Amino acid sequence: MQYFIAGPAVVNMFYNNLLVSTSRTLINNSLSVEVASEDIRGGFGHQLFGKYFHTSALSMELEDSMWHLDWLAHALGSDIAYGADIMQGEELTIGVAGAGTLTGTPSDGKVYVALKGSDVYTTFDVTGQAFTTTAPFYSKEVCVRYIAQDAAARYIRVSANIVPKEVKLVARCQLFNGSAADGTSATRVGYVEIVIPRFLLDGATSLSLTSTGAATTPLKGTALAVQSAECDDAAGYYAEIIEIIDNTNWYDNAFALIVPGGVVDIDMPATATLIVNAYMNGGGYVRVANTDLTFTSLDTGIATVSAGGVVTGVSAGTTAIEMVSQDNAELIGTVVVEVVA
């Protein structure tokens, strides 16, 4: 089968193991992997014998058509807070003696007044919500502006010392059938999921505000290395790229069931729970849940096995346990069991 990826991803952002943002309106997102190399040369003619690869990096750029204050907060290393002083506006009719009363309460005790249709504002002091203007505004309709608290407003503060946050990104892209021989070539067949456990935002962002378009919200950063849980993997990794094909199962591409080591030793009266891996065509393996397998002891006089793959020694000797996929009867494996009394 041939597949192709099309369209932007849906991106989930996690911070401190909490899902803080889901973006479904991306315009584009790009993943870039870079690595530098040095030639290994020597001998006659300064021959090339190999290359040493180093200074690897994985970065991602996102651009969303919608506004995301949470993106900016994480990129700039800020926290979203509530309750902010913002510019309020009202229309009033000033009294015959110049008196006016606001609906809100200015935070700084100032109000800015202009005749309707004018952009020239005059500043007056406010006591609570009341203020008094001068003669030009008597009995006139005016526009007023003032700074007042909005308890529901959210805001971030852009620090002069920006320390971007580290987040986890999970981006899911659509995967389509690209086989020329298949009449359903335009049908989505699955997804590609990109998981970046440690994504350090780069602290740089921009909003382009123009008279001919809407501003998009950009986000970019670089992956940091994660140390692998595998004992022999000292290099670590930046991301996992996972192919998910709809309506497929682990056993569709498996060719063998194997217990690591191939032999299970049991000292009576101890028991052992089998760990079974399915080895896949094209390389790699997956851990198989024992509930997906049927286990059979070839000699119950030496060892028995439960439906959950728990082997119990009965008497000293050697036998084998057969494992069969419950969903694919042709997928079979065996493991040797040695019981010591």
Q: What is the CATH number of the domain that holds 318?
A: 2.60.40.1080
**One domain for residues 141 and 288:** no
H or E segment and range at residue 233: none
The β-bridge partners of 193 are 172, 242
Domain residues for the domain of 35 are 3-78+162-241
Tokens of 225: 């290395």
Q: Can you tell me which residue has the tokens 């401190």?
A: 16
What is the residue-level pLDDT of the chain in tens, covering all 341 positions?
788 999 999 999 999 999 999 999 999 999 999 999 999 999 999 999 999 999 999 999 999 999 999 999 999 999 999 999 999 999 999 999 999 999 999 999 999 999 999 999 999 999 999 999 999 999 999 999 999 999 999 999 999 999 999 999 999 999 998 876 655 555 888 999 999 999 999 998 898 999 999 999 999 999 999 987 666 667 889 999 999 888 888 888 899 999 998 899 999 888 999 999 999 887 888 899 999 999 999 999 999 999 999 999 999 999 999 999 999 989 999 999 999 98
pLDDT of residue 233: 65
- Phi/psi for 175 (5° steps) reads -120, 130
Buried b (16+ CB within 10 A) or exposed e, 226-262: eeeeeeeeeeeebbeeeeeeeeeebbeebeebbbeee
Supply the DSSP string of 47-100, one letter for each residue.
EEEEEEEEEEEEEEEEEESS--HHHHHHHTT---EEEEEEEEEEEEE--TTSEE
Side chain identity, residue 293: L
Listed residues 138, 155, 172: the one ending a domain? 155
**One domain for residues 129 and 172:** no
Distance of CA 323 to the CA centre of its chain: 37
Q: How many CB atoms lie within 10 A of CB 157?
A: 12
pLDDT of residue 231: 65
**One domain for residues 91 and 68:** no
pLDDT of residue 183: 55
pLDDT of residue 186: 55
| Number of domains comprising the chain | 3
pLDDT of residue 250: 82
**One domain for residues 225 and 97:** no
**One domain for residues 67 and 14:** yes
Q: pTM above the 0.85 mark?
A: no
CA distance 173 to 28: 11
pLDDT of residue 249: 84
CA distance 292 to 178: 32
**One domain for residues 53 and 170:** yes
**One domain for residues 301 and 326:** yes
pLDDT of residue 228: 73
**One domain for residues 136 and 283:** no
